[in-house]
Chains A and B, each alone.
Chain A
Amino acid sequence: GAVVSQHPSRVICKSGTSVKIECRSLDFQATTMFWYRQFPKQSLMLMATSNEGSKATYEQGVEKDKFLINHASLTLSTLTVTSAHPEDSSFYICSARDRDSSYEQYFGPGTRLTVT
Chain B
Amino acid sequence: QKEVEQDPGPLSVPEGAIVSLNCTYSNSAFQYFMWYRQYSRKGPELLMYTYSSGNKEDGRFTAQVDKSSKYISLFIRDSQPSDSATYLCAMSHYGNNRLAFGKGNQVVVIP
A contact set with B: CB distance below 8 Å: 2, 4, 6, 32, 34, 41-44, 46, 49, 91, 93, 95, 97, 102-110, 112
**Which residues of the partner chain A approach B36 to less than 8 Å between Cβ atoms?**
107
- Closest Cβ of chain B to A24, distance in Å, is 13
Whether B60 sits at the interface, judged by CB under 8 Å, is no
- Is B43's CB under 8 angstroms from A108's CB? yes
- Closest Cβ of chain A to B30, distance in Å, is 11
The 5 closest A-B pairs by CB, nearest first: A107-B43, A103-B32, A109-B43, A43-B103, A43-B101
Q: List 10 A-B contacts (CB under 8 A).
A: A32-B97, A41-B8, A42-B103, A42-B104, A44-B44, A104-B46, A104-B49, A105-B46, A107-B44, A108-B43
Whether B80 sits at the interface, judged by CB under 8 Å, is no
A-B contact count (CB 8 A): 53
Partner of A46, one of B34, B43, B99: B99
User: Given known contacts A41-B8, A102-B32, A104-B49, is B97 in contact with A93 (CB within 8 Å)?
Assistant: no
* Identity of the chain A residue whose Cβ is nearest the Cβ of B51 in the assembled complex: A102
**Which residues of the partner chain A approach B102 to less than 8 Å between Cβ atoms?**
43
- Closest Cβ of chain A to B87, distance in Å, is 11
Q: How far is the CA of A95 from the CA of B34 in the complex (A)?
A: 14
Q: Type the 1/0 row for B38-71, where 1 means its CB is closer than 8 Å to any CB of A.
A: 0001111110010100000000000000000000
- Closest Cβ of chain A to B100, distance in Å, is 9
